[in-house]
A and B are shown apart, each in its own frame.
Chain A
């Protein structure tokens, strides 16, 4: 009985910390292209550059493959921020992929803005495979921005799942 009471207290304590920006750990999904940004992240790891672990990388073959549905799905499942990282325009492995990514990004931006998701939660950046330091910097800056914004207002389905696991 005592234990149960303790448990509920603990749980409620956690949920309040989730809501306040203090102690809030953002969940960020980064879509990185296979030819530039993903090797850049890899390079950052190899050269032991520090960047926040909040960034969860999803490798895609090309930034042009990231349609609005990818980003919206991430937000729907409880991501606090989404980063799309592609090659620089002139470096694109598929010639036009990075440009396409930029075009599609404009549509996605309009959709998320209409939904009332803060503009800063979605970011497009160009990181070449040689720019490991840039990747670490962008990851750090983006995480800081999201930390400042606090949790996304969209229901935390992923959060709910991980909390349930933690409570067990």
Chain B
């Protein structure tokens, strides 16, 4: 058995598996892709833990949405095992099937070049106040790239960044925005590319140190997860991290944010990174509840049971992903909400892509909005 896999089995307590199959029963991928089963992969890891497992194409099909972890009666950390398996598989030359021809991965790998002079701040308009050096930093992430790469499906993920800065400005904070910030490396890590993940992370930590920031605010849950869980695991960091919804809910408690009336019914999609990975369920709901006349209709499967948006780390997008997305959108539509509130740029891209699909019927078409945008638009002018 591969020693790293053996350690991962120990760490994730995979040896406790009693083969009840609840993980497969709850897995959104298994529901449509009958060839995929988390239970079988755990089984393979315990039995051989070597090439049999590493060469299995199914290890790349997992969304790492953590729904199986939530459900497992033995509390096995399945995604921890998946991550190690992928890192080991990459070492023997296995790789995932990258969506979009691997354009996103190429972008991230190009970003590992230290001398790169990116021009990524064009979206900051004159009424947003940002700075180069300061205490608080807003981490934009790959949003400027996403908006160009997915311009054909007309997404506007940058609106979330503009709204986040608007809210921070409203609270009297002028955030630092790094001109040479890199991708956080989340997608490379989850596709097993440790080498380039490390390069990106070191560069980001260095840039943050130079800016003098002590606290980093995110609007992207994936970046938040990576900075909060993965960076401290591999590097020494000396900054606090916070998601923008935490900032908003804190400000609401302090009475610093006042809202206009907004007569709308909305429903909320819990992103897997923000929800199950980091346990932030109440903050976004608190923000929605603070806006007068805005009401929230929960979907049947919400909070811990929320279904993922169908693709993770830009790999293995398939008809199964589309089925997951369509099912989730239908569920959102069934709540009779006017708007589906999202808080992850990838959810926005994936759902928009599914709605553009000609096979998607009217029952799965709903207008989407980012949570920060909803909040920023509802702010009372001062």
- Chain A residues at the B interface, C-beta cutoff of 8 Å: 67-70, 72-73, 75-76, 107, 110-111, 113-117, 153-155
Q: Determine whether the beta carbon of B119 is less than 8 Å from that of A68.
A: no
List 14 interface pairs A-B (beta carbons < 8 Å), by A numbering.
Answer: A67-B103, A69-B103, A73-B101, A110-B148, A114-B119, A114-B144, A115-B110, A115-B116, A115-B118, A116-B116, A153-B113, A153-B115, A154-B113, A154-B116
Q: A107-B149, A111-B149, A154-B116 are in contact. Are A70 and B101 (CB under 8 A)?
A: yes
Neighbouring A residues of B145 by C-beta, 8 Å: 111, 114
The residue from A72, A113, A117, A153 contacting B103, defined by CB atoms under 8 A apart: A72
Neighbouring A residues of B102 by C-beta, 8 Å: 69, 73
Neighbouring A residues of B103 by C-beta, 8 Å: 67-69, 72
Neighbouring B residues of A72 by C-beta, 8 Å: 103, 106-107, 110
Tell me whether B112 is interfacial, beta carbon within 8 Å.
yes
Neighbouring B residues of A76 by C-beta, 8 Å: 106, 109-110
Closest to B144 in A: A114
Q: Can you name 16 extra interface pairs (CB under 8 A) apart from A73-B106, A75-B110, A116-B116?
A: A68-B100, A68-B149, A69-B102, A69-B106, A70-B101, A72-B107, A76-B110, A107-B151, A111-B149, A113-B119, A114-B118, A114-B119, A114-B145, A115-B111, A117-B110, A153-B113
Shortest C-beta distance, A156 to chain B (Å), equals: 10
- Chain B residues at the A interface, C-beta cutoff of 8 Å: 100-103, 106-107, 109-113, 115-120, 144-145, 148-149, 151-152
Q: Determine whether the beta carbon of A116 is less than 8 Å from that of B117.
A: yes
Shortest C-beta distance, A103 to chain B (Å), equals: 9
Shortest C-beta distance, B124 to chain A (Å), equals: 14
Neighbouring B residues of A116 by C-beta, 8 Å: 116-119
Q: Determine whether the beta carbon of A69 is less than 8 Å from that of B113.
A: no
Neighbouring A residues of B101 by C-beta, 8 Å: 67-70, 73
Neighbouring B residues of A70 by C-beta, 8 Å: 101
Neighbouring A residues of B113 by C-beta, 8 Å: 153-155
Closest to B122 in A: A114
When A and B form their complex, which 9 residue pairs have the shortest distance between CB atoms, in order from nearest?
Answer: A69-B101, A69-B103, A72-B106, A116-B117, A153-B115, A76-B106, A110-B148, A116-B118, A68-B103
Shortest C-beta distance, A71 to chain B (Å), equals: 9
Q: Determine whether the beta carbon of B100 is less than 8 Å from that of A107.
A: no
